[in-house]
Protein backbone atom coordinates (compact mmCIF):
# COMPACT_ATOMS: atom_id res chain seq x y z
CA UNK A 1 0.00 0.00 0.00
CA UNK A 2 3.01 2.31 0.54
CA UNK A 3 3.80 2.27 -3.18
CA UNK A 4 0.28 3.01 -4.41
CA UNK A 5 1.06 6.65 -5.31
CA UNK A 6 4.35 5.56 -6.88
CA UNK A 7 2.49 3.10 -9.09
CA UNK A 8 -0.11 5.75 -10.02
CA UNK A 9 2.63 8.20 -10.98
CA UNK A 10 4.42 5.52 -12.96
CA UNK A 11 1.22 4.70 -14.88
CA UNK A 12 0.45 8.40 -15.36
CA UNK A 13 3.90 8.99 -16.83
CA UNK A 14 3.13 6.20 -19.31
CA UNK A 15 -0.06 8.00 -20.36
CA UNK A 16 -2.72 6.26 -18.23
CA UNK A 17 -5.46 8.89 -17.96
CA UNK A 18 -7.26 7.18 -15.10
CA UNK A 19 -4.13 7.36 -12.96
CA UNK A 20 -3.77 11.05 -13.74
CA UNK A 21 -7.38 11.66 -12.69
CA UNK A 22 -6.87 9.77 -9.41
CA UNK A 23 -3.78 11.86 -8.61
CA UNK A 24 -5.63 15.08 -9.50
CA UNK A 25 -8.45 14.10 -7.13
CA UNK A 26 -5.92 13.37 -4.39
CA UNK A 27 -4.48 16.88 -4.74
CA UNK A 28 -7.83 18.63 -5.43
CA UNK A 29 -7.95 20.27 -1.94
CA UNK A 30 -4.53 21.85 -2.52
CA UNK A 31 -5.57 23.00 -5.99
CA UNK A 32 -8.75 24.55 -4.53
CA UNK A 33 -6.74 26.30 -1.82
CA UNK A 34 -4.30 27.88 -4.27
CA UNK A 35 -7.10 28.65 -6.71
CA UNK A 36 -8.92 30.54 -3.97
CA UNK A 37 -5.77 32.55 -3.21
CA UNK A 38 -5.23 33.34 -6.89
CA UNK A 39 -8.78 34.66 -7.14
CA UNK A 40 -9.17 34.83 -10.91
CA UNK A 41 -11.35 32.93 -13.37
CA UNK A 42 -9.61 29.84 -14.63
CA UNK A 43 -7.09 29.65 -11.78
CA UNK A 44 -8.17 26.10 -10.95
CA UNK A 45 -7.75 25.04 -14.58
CA UNK A 46 -4.28 26.60 -14.72
CA UNK A 47 -3.28 24.78 -11.54
CA UNK A 48 -4.64 21.44 -12.77
CA UNK A 49 -2.75 21.82 -16.05
CA UNK A 50 0.39 22.56 -14.05
CA UNK A 51 -0.31 19.55 -11.81
CA UNK A 52 -0.48 17.30 -14.87
CA UNK A 53 2.87 18.72 -16.06
CA UNK A 54 4.33 18.09 -12.60
CA UNK A 55 3.12 14.49 -12.69
CA UNK A 56 4.61 13.95 -16.16
CA UNK A 57 7.97 15.41 -15.08
CA UNK A 58 8.31 13.90 -11.60
CA UNK A 59 11.69 12.13 -11.40
CA UNK A 60 10.56 8.85 -9.84
CA UNK A 61 13.23 6.79 -11.59
CA UNK A 62 16.18 9.07 -10.85
CA UNK A 63 15.81 9.15 -7.07
CA UNK A 64 15.29 6.11 -4.83
CA UNK A 65 13.49 8.25 -2.22
CA UNK A 66 10.80 9.01 -4.79
CA UNK A 67 9.47 5.49 -4.25
CA UNK A 68 8.18 6.63 -0.86
CA UNK A 69 4.69 8.09 -0.86
CA UNK A 70 5.61 10.98 1.45
CA UNK A 71 8.43 12.03 -0.90
CA UNK A 72 6.11 12.02 -3.90
CA UNK A 73 3.45 13.98 -1.98
CA UNK A 74 6.10 16.48 -0.84
CA UNK A 75 7.49 16.84 -4.35
CA UNK A 76 4.07 17.41 -5.92
CA UNK A 77 2.96 19.77 -3.11
CA UNK A 78 6.12 21.89 -3.34
CA UNK A 79 6.02 21.95 -7.13
CA UNK A 80 2.37 23.01 -7.06
CA UNK A 81 3.20 25.72 -4.53
CA UNK A 82 5.96 27.06 -6.81
CA UNK A 83 3.54 27.03 -9.75
CA UNK A 84 1.01 28.91 -7.60
CA UNK A 85 3.63 31.55 -6.76
CA UNK A 86 4.59 31.89 -10.42
CA UNK A 87 0.94 32.21 -11.49
CA UNK A 88 0.32 34.72 -8.70
CA UNK A 89 3.21 36.93 -9.86
CA UNK A 90 2.08 36.66 -13.47
CA UNK A 91 -1.53 37.50 -12.57
CA UNK A 92 -0.47 40.47 -10.42
CA UNK A 93 1.71 41.78 -13.27
CA UNK A 94 -1.20 41.50 -15.70
CA UNK A 95 -3.52 43.25 -13.23
CA UNK A 96 -1.04 46.09 -12.81
CA UNK A 97 -0.78 46.56 -16.57
CA UNK A 98 -4.57 46.48 -16.96
CA UNK A 99 -4.93 49.02 -14.17
CA UNK A 100 -2.45 51.35 -15.82
CA UNK A 101 -4.20 50.94 -19.16
CA UNK A 102 -7.62 51.69 -17.71
CA UNK A 103 -6.26 54.73 -15.91
CA UNK A 104 -4.92 55.86 -19.26
CA UNK A 105 -1.34 56.45 -18.17
CA UNK A 106 0.28 54.06 -20.57
CA UNK A 107 -2.14 54.82 -23.37
CA UNK A 108 -1.63 58.56 -23.12
CA UNK A 109 2.16 58.15 -22.90
CA UNK A 110 2.21 55.85 -25.92
CA UNK A 111 -0.19 58.11 -27.81
CA UNK A 112 1.89 61.20 -27.03
CA UNK A 113 5.09 59.40 -28.05
CA UNK A 114 3.54 58.27 -31.34
CA UNK A 115 2.29 61.78 -32.11
CA UNK A 116 5.64 63.27 -31.16
CA UNK A 117 7.50 60.74 -33.32
CA UNK A 118 5.22 61.46 -36.29
CA UNK A 119 5.79 65.20 -35.90
CA UNK A 120 9.55 64.69 -35.56
CA UNK A 121 9.64 62.48 -38.65
CA UNK A 122 7.80 65.14 -40.67
CA UNK A 123 10.28 67.80 -39.53
CA UNK A 124 13.25 65.53 -40.23
CA UNK A 125 11.96 64.71 -43.72
CA UNK A 126 11.43 68.44 -44.42
CA UNK A 127 15.00 69.20 -43.34
CA UNK A 128 16.39 66.29 -45.37
CA UNK A 129 14.55 67.56 -48.46
CA UNK A 130 16.45 70.86 -48.14
CA UNK A 131 19.88 69.18 -48.03
CA UNK A 132 22.29 68.83 -50.91
CA UNK A 133 22.97 65.38 -52.37
CA UNK A 134 26.34 65.28 -50.66
CA UNK A 135 24.85 66.21 -47.27
CA UNK A 136 22.08 63.59 -47.61
CA UNK A 137 24.63 60.97 -48.62
CA UNK A 138 26.88 61.69 -45.63
CA UNK A 139 23.99 61.71 -43.13
CA UNK A 140 22.56 58.52 -44.58
CA UNK A 141 25.92 56.73 -44.43
CA UNK A 142 26.46 57.78 -40.82
CA UNK A 143 23.02 57.25 -39.32
CA UNK A 144 21.48 54.54 -41.49
CA UNK A 145 24.50 52.41 -42.24
CA UNK A 146 26.74 53.24 -39.27
CA UNK A 147 29.78 54.36 -41.25
CA UNK A 148 32.53 56.30 -39.48
CA UNK A 149 33.51 59.79 -40.60
CA UNK A 150 36.93 58.50 -41.75
CA UNK A 151 35.36 55.77 -43.90
CA UNK A 152 33.10 58.29 -45.66
CA UNK A 153 36.03 60.67 -46.10
CA UNK A 154 38.07 57.97 -47.84
CA UNK A 155 35.11 57.04 -50.05
CA UNK A 156 34.41 60.65 -51.11
CA UNK A 157 38.08 61.58 -51.26
CA UNK A 158 37.67 64.44 -48.78
CA UNK A 159 39.04 65.07 -45.30
CA UNK A 160 37.53 63.56 -42.19
CA UNK A 161 37.06 67.11 -40.86
CA UNK A 162 34.97 67.98 -43.92
CA UNK A 163 32.68 65.03 -43.19
CA UNK A 164 32.45 66.04 -39.53
CA UNK A 165 31.63 69.67 -40.40
CA UNK A 166 28.93 68.57 -42.83
CA UNK A 167 27.40 66.27 -40.24
CA UNK A 168 27.52 69.00 -37.59
CA UNK A 169 25.90 71.54 -39.95
CA UNK A 170 23.04 69.18 -40.83
CA UNK A 171 22.44 68.30 -37.19
CA UNK A 172 22.31 72.00 -36.25
CA UNK A 173 19.69 72.59 -38.99
CA UNK A 174 17.71 69.66 -37.69
CA UNK A 175 17.96 70.89 -34.12
CA UNK A 176 16.73 74.39 -35.10
CA UNK A 177 13.75 72.90 -36.92
CA UNK A 178 12.83 70.57 -34.06
CA UNK A 179 13.12 73.24 -31.38
CA UNK A 180 11.21 75.85 -33.37
pLDDT at 55: 85
Whether residue 72 sits in one domain with residue 18: yes
**Domain co-membership, 131 together with 85:** no
- What's the average model confidence in pLDDT over 46-65? 83
Specify the number of domains making up the chain: 2
- Alpha carbon distance 18, 11 (integer Å): 9
157 has a pLDDT exceeding 90: yes
Note the pLDDT of residue 161: 94
Q: Is the pLDDT of residue 172 over 90?
A: no
Tell me the pLDDT band of 165, cut-offs 50, 70 and 90.
very high
**CATH value at residue 137:** 1.10.10.10
Are residues 85 and 122 located together in one domain of the fold? Answer: no
Residue 1 pLDDT more than 50? Answer: no
Residue 109 maps to a domain: no
Does residue 126 share a domain with residue 98?
A: no
> Does residue 68 share a domain with residue 9?
yes
Residues 84 and 169 in one domain: no
pLDDT of amino acid 153 = 94
Within-domain flag for 59:
yes
Percent of the chain with pLDDT over 90: 13
Amino acid sequence: MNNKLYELVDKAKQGDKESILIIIEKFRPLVKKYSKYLNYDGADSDLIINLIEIIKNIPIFKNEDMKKEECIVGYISNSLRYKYIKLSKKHNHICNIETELTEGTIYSDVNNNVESNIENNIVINNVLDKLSKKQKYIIQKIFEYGYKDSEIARELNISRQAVYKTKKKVLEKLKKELVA
